[in-house]
Amino acid sequence: MAVAVAPEEIKALFERYSDNGIMTIDHLRRFLVEVQKEDKATTGDAQDIFYHLHELQLGLNFEAFFKYLFGDINPPLDLKRGVHHDMTAPLSHYFIFTGHNSYLTGNQLSSDCSDVPIIDALQSGVRVIELDIWPNSNKDNVEVLHGRTLTAPVELIKCLRSIQEHAFTASDYPVIITLEDHLTPDLQAKVAEMITQTFGDILFSPGSECLKEFPSPEFLKKRIIISTKPPKEYLEAKETKHRDSEEAYGKETTDLKGHIQAGDKNDLDEDSDDEEDADKGIMRSTRNVVPEYKQLIAIHAGKPKGGLEECLKVDPEKVRRLSLSEPQLEKAAETYGKEIVRFTQRNILRVYPKGIRINSSNYNPLIGWTHGAQMVAFNMQGHGKSLWLMRGMFRANGGCGYVKKPDFLLKSSPHGDVFNPRVELPVKTILKVKVYMGEGWFNDFQGKSFDAFSSPDFYVRVGIAGVPADTVMKETETQMNNWMPVWNEEFKFPLTVPELALLRIEVYDYDMSEKDDFAGQTCLPVFELRRGIRAVPLYNFDGVKYNSIKLLMEFDFI
């Protein structure tokens, strides 16, 4: 039993809030207010905990109290709050859980295309699904695939039907479909018919004109939204072949067995305009483009002619979406950081992985978020630390897939100044984190030792992902040969921008001769952490929650 190795500090707290080894409902209520910092905790809240623990007698003994602390009823985020951000502001005021090449089952070059990863993404709360649409081999139907690679296609209609079926299983807030369109006008007409018939009344289509301001997530609840480049702009962009943008962004090249050239430029994003289309029929006159397709597009995408300054100009009469690859954003941020922030106050910026990420890896999302980018697009099959951060951000606001951007990214000063991501700010608060102990590995690893001849040697890495000034990782001592390690170590993290900070927690088994074994991780939005002593569930490398593994930790702000 974990209670046998409970930290002395926890035992002392029980003694303080009990009489003769029994914690009454009133004792527990005081503990909730004074230690757990739940200022509004009532006798009824304490009774609910008693009821959950099946303790209907006079009070809790230490074992029952410890069971509460380590239980699912004591999580680090307040799951009962559900959606609690203001959802009535324009879409541009939110970070949105966004997928990239949402149909791929594996790598970017040779994996299969399927509706299964789309379904998985929607069920995990992703709200933006990207589909690359191409003519099939007979040029009479539409397929989804990663163009000019070895990926096996899937029919568009199958993807659309799966979106329709699963769009709102995890969240009622809108699902945006970004289309990377490589079609002839007659196939665009076919897509318009598919979309209209599949989604019917839940499709939000304001007509062919650009919106003057984006509607709110609340207004768009249970609606499907299409975003792509309108046909006229799309064809014009093909004709200019992106000469100006190439000057602005530079060119990164790579050669991957002849399948992908020009690095991130050939990521085939709908705003990357320097591709050579396989189907020259797409160059026919814009007069033949059917209006039905254009009218379905609620969020207009595209890069204006000219360099980055033109791209980032804010039009008071209309809003739009701009896409930049991760290296394009990094380069732009060096010179135009404040202009990007100003652009994202009204318009939507989508950031996507560079084309050389063939293994579907991801990048640091904080660069986009710090500049107000709403759609930081990730390969959801690209498991790893970057995706842990993405999932951590979208655990906020009830996991609905929309997180309200902090006010400093949305407002201008009386003189018109906006947030400058490159300026280091004073410390606003200090997050204090105490790592008490952990348990559950023996159950979840089925009693198998990490090491061949001994119990595991666990240590915890804990730190912050945020603006550069706040980003740091620290680690506990290693507890040798123990399935239920007790660390009792405290860390302090000064935060200049707590509104964008994520708490990273990782556990490893120390190995003297080989790479340390992974033993669990989680990532939590600092701005929604509950103060007090909390049971922190851990997840495996792929982001699946373990059945039993938890850390007992304490959080406070000073």
Could you give the CA distance from residue 499 to residue 218 in angstroms, rounded to a whole number? Answer: 22
> Is 146 considered catalytic here?
yes
| Domains 91-234+289-409 and 429-557 fall in the same CATH topology | no
Question: What is the architecture of the domain spanning 429-557?
Answer: Sandwich (2.60)
Which member of 85, 100, 182, 371 is catalytic?
100
Which member of 27, 85, 93, 146 is catalytic?
146
Helix (H, G, I), strand (E, B) or coil at 546: strand
pTM tops 0.85, yes or no: yes
**Burial of 543: CB neighbours in 10 Å, binned 0-12, 13-18, 19+:** middle
Q: Tell me the angle at which helices 156-166 and 116-123 cross, rounded to the nearest 10 degrees.
A: 20
Residue 491 CB contacts under 8 Å (≥ 6 apart), including other chains: 432, 433, 434, 435, 462, 474
Q: Give the per-residue pLDDT at 543.
A: 95
CA angle 89/95/97 to nearest 5° reads: 125
Could you give the CA distance from residue 281 to residue 503 in angstroms, rounded to a whole number? Answer: 51
Q: Give the per-residue pLDDT at 446.
A: 75
Helices and strands: H and E segment counts in the chain: 15, 20
What count of other Cβ atoms lies within 10 Å of the Cβ of residue 408?
14
Let me know: does 346 contact 319? Beta carbons within 8 Å.
yes
Phi, psi of 142 (to 5 degrees): -120, 135
Rg of the chain over CA atoms, in angstroms? 26
Find, among 117, 95, 145, the residue nearest to 374 by Cα. 95
Q: Give the per-residue pLDDT at 56.
A: 58
Q: Give the per-residue pLDDT at 209.
A: 76
Which tokens belong to 16? 């303080």
Phi, psi of 525 (to 5 degrees): -70, 120
Tally of CA atoms within 13 A in the half-sphere of 46 that contains its CB: 22
> Is 383 considered catalytic here?
no
Question: What is the architecture of the domain spanning 91-234+289-409?
Answer: Alpha-Beta Barrel (3.20)
Which tokens belong to 349? 């910026």
Which tokens belong to 539? 């997840």
Residue 178 CB contacts under 8 Å (≥ 6 apart), including other chains: 128, 129, 130, 131, 227, 228, 270, 301, 350, 375
Low-confidence ranges of the chain (pLDDT < 50): 241-270, 273-287
Domain 2-69 CATH (choose: 2.60.40, 1.10.530, 1.10.8, 1.10.238)? 1.10.238
Phi, psi of 311 (to 5 degrees): -60, -35
Let me know: does 243 contact 251? Beta carbons within 8 Å.
no
Residue type present at position 201? D
- The ranges assigned to domains in the chain are 2-69, 91-234+289-409, 429-557
